Structure formats: structure tokens, C-alpha cells
Amino acid sequence: MNQDQGIEIGPNRARAMASALSVAGTMPEPRMRTIVCPFCGSLSPDSGRCGTCSARFDPLSRQASQNQMGPWFVRDEKSAHRPGCNYSTLRKMVESGGITGHSVVRGPSTNQFWMLAKHTPGVAHLLGHCHNCGADANAEMFGCKSCGETFSADRDRQHMGLGPVRAIAGVPGAEALALHASEAQGAERIAGPAISLDGGAGSGSGSGTNGGGSGGAGAADPNTKARIDDLSRAVARLQRAWRRERSRTWISLGCAASVTALAIALVVLG
């Protein structure tokens, strides 16, 4: 081999150089990481937006969603894992038609049990009727003119509205839970009427709830039962007093409205 002929390369070395050039010429493809969407919980590529619910991952969008979160939930199989909303957002959903009387919701006024919106306290009057008797109502009314039921709803976004822990027969620790047990108030109203397949409302409500929790209370001593009875009577007295004050308030408002109307009539006629 001389200088004019150049450098001779063996076949093995030629194949190695060709393989090295082939590898060097191939650019590595970037692989996007997968993260958990903070809004719906699905796995999604970290592209700045969830591939399932289309929510954005930037801090401003996170804070905007956080501001609207709350203890009210609307059942939607298409978005089964979305977070709950506050009461203001719930009202906007009613106004926009996103919630109807047959929508299934839960929140503080239902003890977080699912219920039809038209039977849900604090929501039914937004849809145009009383949750208790079904009479006509509107979003600006404080209570029902027919049955006197109030339409107030808990607006605290931190308050879930869960019911108290009560003893259940056969469950360990029933004696300790019985110390904090009390009779369920308005369980039938909270449970709501049963819905049959043809859309009608049955008569069954939540009567079984009271029976399930009463068996464990007998395990407490007589003094504890006496204290519970005293507290129940005190609660009943407070409820009666509250109803009387509510009636007086409505009467006062009616008198004030009559006096105002009379004064306006006198001013107009005078």
C-alpha cells in the first residue's frame, strides 16, 4: 500500500463506520411525560391541557377552578369525576339550563345523598317550585307561601353538610357512638320520594334510616339515654319557637306591606 492508493479499510471496519454514521444521523424523538389531571383525575400528556376534560394546567386556570369549587355535585356520566361546585356556580347552572328538575344532585341540604333537583332544598325553588309541597316558587322567595318551608341553602363552600355519626347495631364501637347519637330530624324529607321507572314518585322515602340507627342507642346507660332525651326535647322546643318567630315575621312583613301600599295610595290620591 502506498500514499497514492490511500488508506485501505477492511470490511469489518467499514461496516462499523457505516453503523456509527447511521446511529449518529438518527435524531432522538422527544417523549412527552404523562401526568394526572388535577381536575378529572385522568392520565393525560403534559401538553398544557387535559386530553379528557380539556382543562388547562396553568396556575391561573387552576386558581379559577379552585374559586368555583364547593360541596355541590351534579351527576353526569360523561364527566363523572369532575369536582364539586359552590352554590353560586350551581345557580348559574340552573339559570343556563344545565340543571333541570330531573337532574340528580347532592350537597349540604341533602347530607351528600343523591336526590332529584326538584326535591332538593335550596335548589328546587330556583327551578320554580317548593321542594316540600311542589307549590309555585321563584329564586327570590325566602319561603313557600303554601307550606311555610324555607328555601335557604348553606353557602359555605367548606361545609359539606354531612350528617352526624350515629350508632349502628352490630357494628363494633356502638356503645361509644351512642353517646353522640340523636334522633334524625327530617329524614323523610332529606331522603326524598322514591322514583319509579315510569317517572312517578312513590310513597317510600327514608323510613329505614331511622330504624337502622336506633338499635345501637339502647346499649348506652340510663343516664346517657336521659341526657339524649333532654336534648331531643330541647331541640323540639327550639324548633317550635323558631316556627312561631317565622310566623310572626311573615305577619309583620304583611302588615308593613299593607301600610306601605296604603301610604302610597294616599300620596297618589292626595
pLDDT on residue 26: 57
pTM of the entire predicted model:
0.54
**Is 270's pLDDT higher than 60?**
yes
Residue 225's φ and ψ, nearest 5 degrees, are -65, -35
% of the chain beyond a pLDDT of 70: 69
pLDDT on residue 222: 59
Q: 234-241 — which CB contacts under 8 Å span 24+ positions? A: 235/182, 235/185
Residue 61: its H or E element = helix 59-68
* Nearest-5° Cα angle at 227, 225 to 232: 95
Among the listed residues 114, 50, 48, 43, the one whose alpha carbon sits nearest the alpha carbon of residue 76: 114
Domain boundaries, the chain: 32-163
| Cross-strand partners of 73 | 106
Q: Predicted confidence band at 256 (pLDDT cuts at 50, 70, 90)?
A: confident
**Is 37's pLDDT higher than 70?**
yes
CB atoms within 10 A of CB 258: 10
